[in-house]
Structure 1
Amino acid sequence: MKYNFLSPCKLNLFLYITGKREDGYHNLQTLFVVLDYGDMMHFENTDDGKIELTTDFGFDVKKNLIYRAAKLLQDKTGCSLGVTISIDKILPQGGGLGGGSANAATTLLVLNKLWNLNLSEKELIEMGTGLGADVPIFIKGKTCFAEGIGEKLVEVDYPQKYYLVVTPDCSVPTAKLFSSDKLKKDSPCRSYNELLALPFENCFTPVVINEYPQVKDLLAKLSVYGKSYMSGSGSSCFVEFNDELSANNALSEFRKTGFKCFVAKSVEQSSVLKKLHQIK
């Protein structure tokens, strides 16, 4: 039997780096929202123990996060089942929307269910952290305040909103940004409530707009509709709306500019988790 799941994307509503860790990674504080938009993934159980990713990404399949997530589950649990996976990819790579991380998290969640592994959320988050810092938020699948490298997640209440999300024609390499001496890496640690009361900021934005004029131009264009922000380390940017009609009106106008864009709503729980609860 084939199962289909929407592998969602995320936005960082604010993002601050608070320092460098002994392991070389950086601690951060960020507010994640998960959206009802993303790649469609298809899973079919097999009995031969093989992991097959039939979608061609243009590079070695064993380096793909989807394959690595499935193989990690097999290796950790000794599961003898296999799976055939394909994906209808629409989210951009290097866009700051967490598409690849979401694909990995969706794979962990779905195969945990389909292979009857019964691993806990905590165990899946620990496994996911080894695959990528954004994987845990998609395991959680809810609006969260995140600390550490993104693996320390606390569910928070934040109003559901509509977002116009736009991706310029450039990809921003995160590693390059972290090596920049212009990146602020010493923001003070503050509580979620303290950060909520301040104007939202993304510490990567000043560095990115200095290096990528396309992002600077996009943020200016989006500011016509409200306060515009960049998600993650870029390059995708967004504006928040209170209602769907206003967001879609802005989308209709923005599509004329030729940018890749969509409107999505933040969700209380990801569609992956909702669908998994329905599978007996």
Structure 2
Amino acid sequence: MSSEVVLLGCPAPAKLNLFLHIIGRRDDGYHLLQSVFQLIDRCDTLDFYVRNDRQIKRINSVHGVPENDDLCVRAARLLQQYSNSQLGADIQLHKVLPMGGGVGGGSSDAATTLLALNYLWGCHLQEAELMHLGLQLGADVPFFIGRTNAFVEGIGEQMTSLATPERWFLVIEPGVHVPTPTIFSAKELTRNTKPVKITDFSNAAKVEWKNDLQAVACALHTEIQQAIDWLRQFELNIGDAKMTGSGSCVFCSFADEETAKSIQSKVPNRWKSWTAKALSQHPINSKINL
């Protein structure tokens, strides 16, 4: 049975990779990358109901995701085991973000679960401990636990907080699912992009900000290339329209909401699209005293 201790409407925001460079590969096969991760206000939301019997259950169905495979459930069980908490939780996930879209939906859900249950269960784990746990669930999870935009390096584990400009994004879902391992294992993938410095990011003229995974994904799925080509007619600077992560979502940034929504109204009906605002910090900060 659930107790009366609840936390409703916890946001799990999407992220966009403002660029993604592959600069090398380690002996163990992991790729070395550089990227800027940008939080946006498009979110899944989660409801948590504390249980006193240590059971952890997802109380709604999510299409294509069995309960035991759900990163939220796995995150809750991992935290419970690590902290030896005697409490459990019913979890309800309201899914908005696309799966296989490169916007970090599953990782963000897991991070919000760790943050919320650490608070509700009174585990009092520090951010570094939660990040360590999160890394066991996925490479992007620690970023969402950090709750700020970041310049990301290494295999994704080295993060430096970064201030990013206020802007709006138009995001298109081309309707294809891109398996991340397929992209990273492709022999055509560029793996020798010249490293950049965090200070370069504010001076875009110095660097071609691109997504090195984009060419491989577009070769596999022509819909991604078509969406990028369509967005390019509206970009302010060459290369603004690009894919995020390993795909399949593509995006372009604009100075204001009115411009983004005006261009969204022109998106061909065969694609799903949405607009989102850049965030400077994780929206869960307003719900939980972290």
- The two structures have a TM-score, normalised by structure 2, of 0.92
Q: Which residue of the partner structure matches residue 250 of structure 1? A: 263
**CA shift for structure 1 position 126:** 1.1
1:88 aligns with 2:100: no
SS of alignment partner, residue 233 of structure 2:
coil
1:46-85 matches, within 5 Å, as 46-57=51-62, 58-85=64-91
Does structure 1 retain, via aligned residues, the 8 Å contact 2:56–2:89?
yes
Gaps of 5+ in 2: none
1:1-280 matches, within 5 Å, as 1-3=5-7, 4-57=9-62, 58-196=64-202, 197=204, 198-226=207-235, 227-254=240-267, 256-277=268-289
For 1:45 and 1:65, the matched residues in 2 are separated by 18
Paired residues, what number? 277
For 1:118 and 1:140, the matched residues in 2 are separated by 16
SS of alignment partner, residue 129 of structure 2:
helix
For 1:23 and 1:75, the matched residues in 2 are separated by 29
Which amino acid counterpart does residue 116 of structure 1 have in structure 2? G
Do the aligned partners of residues 8 and 94 (structure 1) sit closer, same or farther apart at CA in structure 2, a change above 3 Å counting? same
Which amino acid counterpart does residue 187 of structure 1 have in structure 2? T
Which amino acid counterpart does residue 203 of structure 1 have in structure 2? D
**CA shift for structure 1 position 269:** 0.8
SS of alignment partner, residue 38 of structure 2:
strand
Deviations 1:46-83 (A, max 9, x none): 11101011222344422221111001101111001000
Runs of 4 or more above 4 Å deviation: none
SS of alignment partner, residue 160 of structure 2:
strand
**CA shift for structure 1 position 169:** 1.2
Deviations 1:166-207 (A, max 9, x none): 111101111001111110112233211235531210000111
Do the aligned partners of residues 187 and 111 (structure 1) sit closer, same or farther apart at CA in structure 2, a change above 3 Å counting? same
Does structure 1 retain, via aligned residues, the 8 Å contact 2:164–2:280?
no
For 1:204 and 1:229, the matched residues in 2 are separated by 10
Does structure 2 retain, via aligned residues, the 8 Å contact 1:231–1:238?
yes
Deviations 1:126-151 (A, max 9, x none): 11111101111111121100012212
For 1:269 and 1:181, the matched residues in 2 are separated by 37
For 2:253 and 2:171, the matched residues in 1 are separated by 9
Cα RMSD over matched residues?
1.4
Do the aligned partners of residues 43 and 266 (structure 1) sit closer, same or farther apart at CA in structure 2, a change above 3 Å counting? same
Does structure 1 retain, via aligned residues, the 8 Å contact 2:52–2:87?
yes
Give the fraction of aligned pairs with identical amino acids, expressed as a percent.
37
